[in-house]
C-alpha cells in the first residue's frame, strides 16, 4: 500500500477499538476491519485524484463501520443498515477527535438509505467506495462458493449450456 495512506491511518489502526473490528464480519467472510481498510484506501485514492480533503476522507472511511457488534446476531439486525452509521460515529467520537467532514461521512455513508445525503464531496466518495468494496467482497465470496461446491458449479454450467441456445 501507499506510504502516505498508511501514515494517515496509522493512529487509527493502532487503536484497540479499531482493532476490535477484526472480530466482526461485515460482508460474507470479510471482517469489518478489512472492509474498512479497503474502503479507506479506495476513498484515499479517489479523493486525492479529485483534489479533495483526502486526509479527512481517508480517516472517515477507516472509521465508517466502527459499530462493534455482529449485526447478523444482534437485535439491531432489522435496522442495522439504517443505524450503524450513527453507532459507528458515536464509537469513533469516543476514541478520536473528528472534524466535520469525518463526522458527516461516518453518519451518512449509507446514503441513500440514510435519506439525508452527505454534506461534503468526500462523503459521496466514501458512499461509492463502500458500495464498490462491498460488491467486490460479496462477488469474491460467491466465486469461492462456486469453486468449493462442484455440484453448484456443474448445475450452473448445465444451466448456461441448456439455456444459451434459447
Residue 67 is predicted with a pLDDT of 72
pLDDT of residue 162: 73
What pLDDT was estimated at residue 1? Answer: 63
pLDDT at 61 > cutoff 90: yes
Averaged pLDDT, 151-159: 71
- Give yes or no for residue 131 having a pLDDT over 70: yes
pLDDT in the model for residue 70: 63
Residue 28 confidence (pLDDT) above 70 = no
Whether residue 91 is predicted with pLDDT greater than 90 in this model: the reply is no
Q: Give 63's pLDDT tier (boundaries 50, 70, 90).
A: very high
Q: What would the mean pLDDT of 133-158 be, rounded to a whole number? A: 71
| Averaged pLDDT of the chain | 82
pLDDT at 72: 60
Query: Mean pLDDT, to the nearest integer, of 23-50?
Result: 88
State yes or no: pLDDT of 7 exceeds 80: yes
pLDDT, tens only, 69-90: 665 665 554 665 557 778 889 8
Specify burial of residue 13 (Cβ count, 10 A radius: 0-12, 13-18, 19+). middle
Distances (CA, A) of 30 to 3, 52, 100, 127, 146: 24, 28, 29, 18, 17
Q: Distance of alpha carbon 144 from its chain centroid, rounded?
A: 20
What gap in Å lies between CA 90 and CA 93, rounded to an integer? 5
The whole-number average pLDDT for the span 80-103 is 84
> How confident is the model at residue 163, as a pLDDT?
73
Amino acid at each position: 500500500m501507499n506510504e502516505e495512506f498508511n501514515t494517515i491511518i496509522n493512529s487509527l489502526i493502532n487503536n484497540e477499538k479499531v482493532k476490535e473490528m477484526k472480530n466482526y464480519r461485515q460482508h460474507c467472510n470479510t471482517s469489518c476491519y478489512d472492509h474498512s481498510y479497503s474502503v479507506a484506501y479506495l476513498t484515499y485514492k479517489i479523493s486525492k485524484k479529485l483534489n479533495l480533503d483526502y486526509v479527512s476522507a481517508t480517516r472517515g472511511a477507516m472509521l465508517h463501520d466502527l459499530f462493534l457488534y455482529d449485526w447478523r446476531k444482534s437485535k439491531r439486525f432489522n435496522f442495522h443498515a439504517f443505524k450503524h452509521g450513527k453507532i459507528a460515529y458515536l464509537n469513533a467520537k469516543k476514541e478520536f477527535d473528528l472534524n466535520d467532514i469525518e463526522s458527516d461521512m461516518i453518519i451518512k455513508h449509507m446514503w441513500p438509505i440514510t435519506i439525508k445525503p452527505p454534506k461534503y464531496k468526500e462523503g459521496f466518495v466514501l458512499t461509492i467506495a463502500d458500495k464498490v468494496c462491498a460488491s467486490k467482497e460479496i462477488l469474491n465470496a460467491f466465486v469461492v462458493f462456486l469453486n468449493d461446491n462442484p455440484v453448484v458449479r456443474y448445475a450452473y454450467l448445465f444451466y448456461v449450456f441448456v439455456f444459451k441456445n434459447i
